[in-house]
């Protein structure tokens, strides 16, 4: 029994140490930004509309970085027209990770009057400050 108790104590200390290390790393990451978050997002009007519809749900997440998945927002079962020669913009992104500030920035940018999103637009998320 004493051996089992000893092992439990060592395990508890290891878990506590790991928790402290992970908290320190996540705190440092939160202060310095997200190393794997997008710096820019390529989006079109369909995906932008979908993002704005999902914004409240995404903003309600209690995390430093938010995974945005717009893959189900692409055209639903309708065959898309073959793009003409003038539609050579970059391919829109349907999955990306953003910090909370970048999430708000993207929403603000997408709500700007006169923004041209088709065939696609590159939204610079560093421009929000």
Summarize pLDDT for 101-112 with one digit per residue, the tens.
999 999 999 999
Q: How many domains does the chain have?
A: 2
pTM of the model: 0.66
Do residues 99 and 129 share a domain? yes
Contact between 94 and 74 under an 8 Å Cβ cutoff? The reply is yes
Helix locations, 2-123, DSSP H: 2-32, 45-59, 100-110
Shared domain for 50 and 97, answered yes or no, is yes
At residue 26, does pLDDT exceed 80? no
Mean pLDDT confidence for 56-78:
86
The domain containing residue 63 runs over which residues? 37-76+88-129
**What local confidence, expressed as pLDDT, does residue 87 receive?**
57
The pLDDT value recorded for residue 106 is: 97
Residue 92 located in a structural domain: yes
């Amino acid at each position: 029994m004493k051996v089992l108790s000893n092992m439990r104590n060592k395990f508890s200390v290891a878990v506590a140490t790991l928790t402290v290390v992970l908290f320190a790393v996540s705190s440092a990451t939160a202060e310095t930004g997200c190393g794997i978050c997008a710096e820019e997002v390529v989006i079109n009007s369909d995906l932008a509309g979908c993002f704005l519809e999902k914004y409240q749900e995404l903003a309600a997440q209690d995390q430093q970085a938010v995974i945005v998945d717009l893959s189900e927002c692409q055209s639903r079962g309708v065959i898309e027209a073959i793009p003409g020669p003038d539609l050579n913009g970059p391919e829109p992104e349907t999955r990306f990770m953003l910090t909370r500030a970048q999430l708000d920035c993207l929403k603000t940018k997408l709500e700007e009057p006169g923004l041209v999103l088709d065939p696609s637009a590159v939204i610079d998320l560093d421009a929000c400050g």
